[in-house]
Amino acid sequence: MEYHEKGDLQRYLTKRFPETEARTITTQLLEALGYMHDNGFAHRDLKPGNILVMETTPIWWVKVCDFGISKRAQEESTALRTTAIGTKYYQAPEVCGMYSPDIVSEEVHEEADDTIYGVSVDIWALGAITYYLLTKQHAFGSLQALGKYATKRQSFPIQPLVEAGASDFCKDLVGQMLAASPGSRPTASQALKHPWIEEKSISSPSEDDTLDRPCLKEQLANSAF
């Protein structure tokens, strides 16, 4: 991976981000994930340490990198369903073995395919990142808390977002991305049409500029459906 003097997003997580900046970063990451998912590819380890910071002014410009454990979403579906992937705090409930048909409606569970199931872990991870940017707190600080939420014994932790002054549109999208049910999370393309994303006033870099494309292209070339 090429060197970037500004480092990764993890370096900047020392304070709450203004909502406008969090939205800019979230939008760029959704565009990057949309490209990957449209090509049948799931990153599976999206986290601040895998997000390069290219610029911070006049607007944030970030780029997804490190595709070390990414996979074709239709490939090795058993592994996608059973292997512990990702990084603590950004792992979806199903990755931690907390996924259950009881969490998802029968209709969604029966119709969900491996592609949807695979890429939805990236949407969860992005929701967890956005939540942290806004609150400087992890939505679920322990497996116990995540388990309670996944099994409907604990409600979505909205209070930190309220205390951070997040707008209603913001709280709505973050809540959708952090839905316990994989099938209830929006796709990247759906999230990009959410009012919170569409109300941004400053243009973001194109999807061509939000991926570490040489690394992704190498992965795409070495993978098959």
* CATH for the 9-217 domain, from 1.10.1660.10, 1.10.340.30, 3.60.21.10, 1.10.510.10: 1.10.510.10
Long-range CB pairs of 189-193, under 8 A, 24+ apart, other chains included? 189/34, 189/38, 191/30, 191/123, 192/27, 192/30, 192/31, 192/34
Structure-block tokens of residue 112: 């969900």
Q: What is the mean pLDDT of residues 205-223?
A: 55
pTM comes to 0.80
Beta carbons within 8 Å of 34's beta carbon, 6+ residues apart = 187, 188, 189, 192, 207
Positions marked catalytic: 45
In the chain, DSSP assigns E strands to: 41-42, 51-55, 61-64, 71-72
CA atoms of 68 and 184, how far apart (whole Å): 27
- Give residue-wise pLDDT tens across range 106-164: 333 333 333 335 889 999 999 999 999 999 999 999 999 999 999 999 999 999 999 99
